[in-house]
């Protein structure tokens, strides 16, 4: 579990703007829960339902799908696959969000989504009841507030820039009314958590507010970061060992024979071969399409590969077991933490072999890249060796003369992306980078 920051406060306090800036500065994921409630209000209004009638709203929840997408432009809010990021930022929707957020079924509908995001990432989540209800065990709780007049002035300027015709007095009344609604609702009313740090931004500029929140978070998380234990010690592979000349000679002969056979059977091409390291001691991380994948990766590489194979393959027959072992396979039990597998992987790298890992852990039937597991990240972080992303591409089933394209991406060097340890945050960082690069190579 990552570091969770709960940022609560009244409407117009600048929570979203400040949370986005601080999240970017800390490289955390920003979760705008207010946008989720606004999306529901927008949908309810679009359907002509009464915002004050829970019985009209509850049946509509089954029709709603909300996703938060993160792009270079920032977080976008998708409602049933429609980008409503700008449409939900109006006074009407703001008041509607306050009303629907008081409905228990609406809160329950969104609660699971919010908690799942928090489990998997270092996050800053802003709202009204994050520190009291959604994330009661958050590592850092902050209550951001400001005088109603200051909040109204900020919101009024924001709406003017968007061409909204609302007056300052209308915005101020909306702020005051929403404060009353949020603090007096029966379900999860707006209030400061007992262990929250209060920050009043009435007299602060945006930059000063960002810095104040940033300081609270960094001061609070220093203690936790010191307590985070590495999963395994880092043991950088020095690449001092090379395979013997005799071994390399026979491997090269065999490789050219297999290259000829595979070019006869498949219509295979390789792209990005300039990214393949000429030495050993590297990891090749690839999507998984077929049992031929280790061979596809091996054909353009000049150093023998080792790769993980599910344990069941080593219990079929003696000849098959000897064959896959000869080609560098070693067993791994899926779904079970096994430090011996990590030790074996490091041993292969230290001996000068390259290592092939399929982060998805299983073959993809439709060609889409699945969710990566942490194994490849752990090996890379422990060994501190380059990871070459690979994308294996073909349509349908693999058969005679099938067109196959194997793409090799630029090596990912752990230390160059700030991964020098095996703590959970470092492993997530390199795993996400590896999976992102693999996905870009599969098209």
Question: How far is the C-alpha of 153 from the C-alpha of 429, rounded, in Å?
Answer: 40
Question: How far is the C-alpha of 101 from the C-alpha of 79, rounded, in Å?
Answer: 17
- What is the token pair recorded at 194? 């007992």
Q: What's the pLDDT tens digit per position in 208-257?
A: 999 999 999 998 887 565 455 667 889 999 877 778 888 889 888 988 99
Query: Looking at residue 102, what is its pLDDT?
Result: 86
393 class by beta-carbon count within 10 Å (0-12 exposed, 13-18 middle, 19+ buried)? middle
In this structure, the answer to whether residues 350 and 207 fall within a common structural domain is: no
CB distance 156 to 171 below 8 Å? yes
Query: Looking at residue 443, what is its pLDDT?
Result: 81
What are the strands, taking DSSP E only, across 242-342? 267-271, 283-286, 305-310, 329-332
pLDDT tier at 11 (50, 70, 90 boundaries)? confident
Note the Cα 105 to chain centre separation in Å: 28
Q: What's the pLDDT tens digit per position in 138-182?
A: 999 999 999 999 999 988 988 888 888 889 999 999 999 989 988
Q: Examine the pLDDT at 320 and tell me if it is beyond 80.
A: no
Q: In the chain, pLDDT over 90 holds for what percent of residues?
A: 51
Q: What's the pLDDT tens digit per position in 375-427?
A: 899 999 999 999 999 999 999 999 999 999 999 999 999 988 888 889 887 89
Question: How far is the C-alpha of 312 from the C-alpha of 80, rounded, in Å?
Answer: 42
Lowest mean pLDDT among 25-39, 326-340, 391-405: 326-340
Domain total of the chain: 3
Query: Looking at residue 224, what is its pLDDT?
Result: 60
- What is the token pair recorded at 360? 């998805």
CB distance 304 to 243 below 8 Å? yes
In this structure, the answer to whether residues 87 and 151 fall within a common structural domain is: no
Q: Examine the pLDDT at 335 and tell me if it is beyond 60.
A: no
- What is the token pair recorded at 364? 């993809």
Nearby residues of 182 by Cβ (< 8 Å), 6 or more positions away = 10, 11, 98, 101, 128, 189, 190
Q: Is residue 195 part of a domain?
A: yes
Query: Looking at residue 323, what is its pLDDT?
Result: 63
Q: What's the pLDDT tens digit per position in 399-411?
A: 999 999 999 999 9
Last residue of a domain, one of 121, 140, 169: 121
Query: Looking at residue 71, what is its pLDDT?
Result: 63
Question: How far is the C-alpha of 50 from the C-alpha of 129, rounded, in Å?
Answer: 24
Q: Examine the pLDDT at 336 and tell me if it is beyond 60.
A: no
Last residue of a domain, one of 166, 198, 229: 229
In this structure, the answer to whether residues 4 and 68 fall within a common structural domain is: no
In this structure, the answer to whether residues 287 and 311 fall within a common structural domain is: yes
The mean of the pLDDT values for the chain is 88
Last residue of a domain, one of 121, 152, 172: 121
Question: How far is the C-alpha of 191 from the C-alpha of 177, rounded, in Å?
Answer: 16
CB distance 79 to 65 below 8 Å? yes
Q: Is residue 238 part of a domain?
A: no
What letter would DSSP give residue 230?
Answer: P
Query: Looking at residue 327, what is its pLDDT?
Result: 72
In this structure, the answer to whether residues 136 and 213 fall within a common structural domain is: yes
What is the span of the domain harbouring residue 166?
1-11+20-28+125-229
What are the strands, taking DSSP E only, across 60-218? 66-71, 74-79, 82-83, 123-127, 140-145, 197-200
- What is the token pair recorded at 263? 């070019």
CB distance 317 to 324 below 8 Å? no
CB distance 389 to 402 below 8 Å? no
In this structure, the answer to whether residues 222 and 320 fall within a common structural domain is: no
What letter would DSSP give residue 196?
Answer: P
Region 265-273 average pLDDT: 97
Region 10-18 average pLDDT: 89
């Amino acid at each position: 579990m990552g570091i969770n920051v709960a940022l609560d406060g009244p409407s117009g306090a600048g929570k979203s703007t400040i949370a986005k800036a601080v999240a970017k500065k800390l490289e955390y994921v920003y979760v705008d829960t207010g946008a989720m409630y606004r999306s529901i209000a927008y949908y309810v209004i679009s359907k002509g339902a009464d915002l004050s009638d829970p019985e009209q709203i509850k049946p509509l929840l089954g029709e709603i799908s909300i996703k938060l997408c993160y792009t270079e432009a920032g977080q976008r809010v998708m409602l049933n696959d429609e980008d409503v990021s700008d449409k939900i930022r109006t006074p009407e929707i703001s008041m509607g969000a306050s009303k629907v957020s008081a409905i228990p079924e609406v809160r329950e509908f969104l609660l699971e989504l919010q908690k799942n995001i928090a489990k998997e990432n270092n996050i800053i989540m802003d709202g009204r009841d994050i520190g009291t209800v959604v994330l009661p065990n958050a590592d850092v709780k902050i209550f951001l507030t400001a005088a109603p007049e200051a909040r109204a002035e900020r919101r009024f300027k924001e709406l003017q820039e968007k061409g909204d015709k609302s007056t300052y007095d209308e915005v101020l009344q909306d702020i005051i009314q929403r404060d009353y609604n949020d603090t007096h609702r029966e379900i999860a009313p707006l209030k400061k958590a007992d262990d929250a740090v209060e920050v009043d931004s009435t007299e602060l500029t945006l930059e000063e507010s960002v810095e104040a929140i940033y300081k609270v978070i960094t001061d609070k998380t220093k203690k936790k970061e010191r307590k985070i234990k590495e999963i395994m010690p880092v043991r950088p592979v020095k690449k001092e060992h090379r395979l013997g000349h005799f071994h390399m000679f026979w491997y090269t002969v065999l490789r050219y024979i297999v290259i000829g056979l595979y070019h006869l059977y498949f219509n295979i091409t390789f792209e990005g071969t300039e990214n393949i390291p000429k030495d050993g001691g590297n990891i090749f991380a690839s999507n998984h399409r077929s049992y031929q994948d280790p061979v596809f990766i091996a054909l353009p590489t000049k150093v023998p590969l080792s790769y993980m194979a599910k344990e069941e393959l080593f219990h079929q027959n003696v000849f098959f077991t000897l064959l896959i072992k000869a080609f560098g396979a070693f067993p791994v039990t899926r779904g079970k933490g096994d430090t011996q597998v990590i030790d074996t992987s490091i041993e292969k790298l230290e001996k000068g072999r390259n290592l092939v890992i399929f982060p998805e852990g299983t073959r993809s039937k439709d060609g889409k890249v699945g969710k990566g597991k942490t194994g490849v990240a752990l090996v890379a972080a422990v060994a501190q060796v380059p990871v070459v992303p690979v994308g294996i591409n073909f349509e349908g089933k693999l058969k005679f003369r099938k067109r196959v394209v194997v793409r090799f991406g630029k090596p990912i060097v752990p230390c160059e992306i700030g991964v020098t340890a095996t703590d959970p945050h470092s492993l997530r960082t390199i795993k996400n980078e590896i999976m992102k690069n693999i996905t870009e190579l599969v098209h």
